[in-house]
Amino acid sequence: MSVSSSAVIFEEVPTAGGQRIGVARLNAEKSLNSLTLEMIDLLGERLPAWAVDPNIVLVMLEGAGERAFCAGADLLKLHAACLAHRESPQRTDIRANGYALDFFAREYRLDYLIHTYPKPILCWGHGVVMGGGMGLMAGASHRVVTGEVRIAMPEINIGLYADVAGSWFLARAPGRTGLFLALTAAQLGAADALFAGFADYHISHARKTVLMETLIAHAWHREVAGNRRDLSRLLQSFSEPRAEAGPLRENFDLINELCRSEDPAAIIHRITSLASDNEWLQRASATLAAGSPTTAVLSIALQRRLKLASLAEVFRAELVASLACAARHDLAEGIRALLIDKDKQPQWRPAKVADVTEEWIEGFFTSPWPAAEHPLADLGAR
């Protein structure tokens, strides 16, 4: 059975035992399956239904086409909403940007659902997996990357930060690599995705069809634990031999040293002034140098303040921070420079790291809601 929309294709694929595999395919190939509010709402409706359907044994998330699972959020509507909010009488109230509130709150709720889903979720990470795409993949119980995967959290380029629980999963990467990735938008291949803990299996994209045939032919259980074990075993049987270390692992000691300071400005200076013949490190340094100073300092603050927070607490804090980003200058300016005018010359405010004060950053943590009224207050409730 297949149900199609302009944004997501849902299929329920019969298995040999009469049960079904739920397949959700992001269906926006031209935009590299960029995540829209419509996609978020469709997934947010279907995944809970599959969670309680006794005949669905597992869920598979994938992207249409051969270029991407998901390249991140669709930012053009967000840009327009930010500009409209800035010109409105309610511009000092971050809650008044209705589109931003809807988008971020529903996206984070969907991401949390995936992290806490009661059945196995297999995410097929092929091609571009960035930003919001990482938000979908990070919480899946079984995360596959192919040899063509390109993983990154590139938000510093647009004046946002590594959201979608990036403050949680990046902070759990080895050493200080997660902080480095948030600051530099450095891209990772399959080997580094496994090393960083962002993926569980490396499987050739050419074997996807055969893998699916194997999953369809398998005799699945009626209980979840057995299905989790069997899916792990089947995926492992398709996994590629361990690849050579990628640049993140090769430069692990250097990255740790670069990010070893209590002073955010010192970390940023070390990375942006790095002299290296390594092209990957050069690109990382240049990206941070050209990125939003506010994003850089905020990224460090988020990972440090939320280090011991629960996943639900992280999503609640990130919603406040994201709405603050939408209300201030840099997010709209970054989207303009990258995607609208495409001049790649954003005029950040503040323009220098030295001008990003503690008071300025504190505003990204100040919630406009009492705790019980926060839109994500129910996350983690039992």
Higher-scoring residue by pLDDT: 381, 127: 127
The β-bridge partners of 67 are none
Domains belonging to the chain, first-starting first, are 2-373 (3.90.226.10)
176 contacts 260 by C-beta, under 8 angstroms: yes
Averaged over 336-346, what is the pLDDT?
97
CA distance to 108, 162, 187, 201, 287, per residue, from 302 (Å): 16, 9, 21, 29, 20
Q: What is the pLDDT of residues 227-270, one digit of tens each?
A: 999 999 999 999 998 778 999 999 999 999 999 999 999 999 99
Is the pLDDT assigned to residue 193 strictly greater than 90?
yes
How high is the mean pLDDT of the chain?
96
Using the predicted structure, report yes or no on whether residue 3 has a pLDDT greater than 80. no
pLDDT category, 324, cuts 50, 70, 90?
A: very high
* Contact status, residue 329 vs residue 193, Cβ threshold 8 Å: no
CB 259, CB 267: distance < 8 Å:
yes
For residue range 31-48, what is the model confidence (pLDDT) as tens digits? 999 999 999 999 999 999
Average pLDDT over residues 200-220: 97
DSSP letter (8 states) at residue 152 = E
Are 149 and 70 in contact by the 8 Å Cβ rule? The answer is: no
Residue 5 confidence class, pLDDT cut points 50, 70, 90: low
SS3 73: strand
Handedness of CA 198, 203, 204, 209 (dihedral sign): negative
Predicted local confidence at residue 2, as pLDDT: 52
pLDDT in tens, 106-165: 999 999 999 999 999 999 999 999 999 999 999 999 999 999 999 999 999 999 999 999
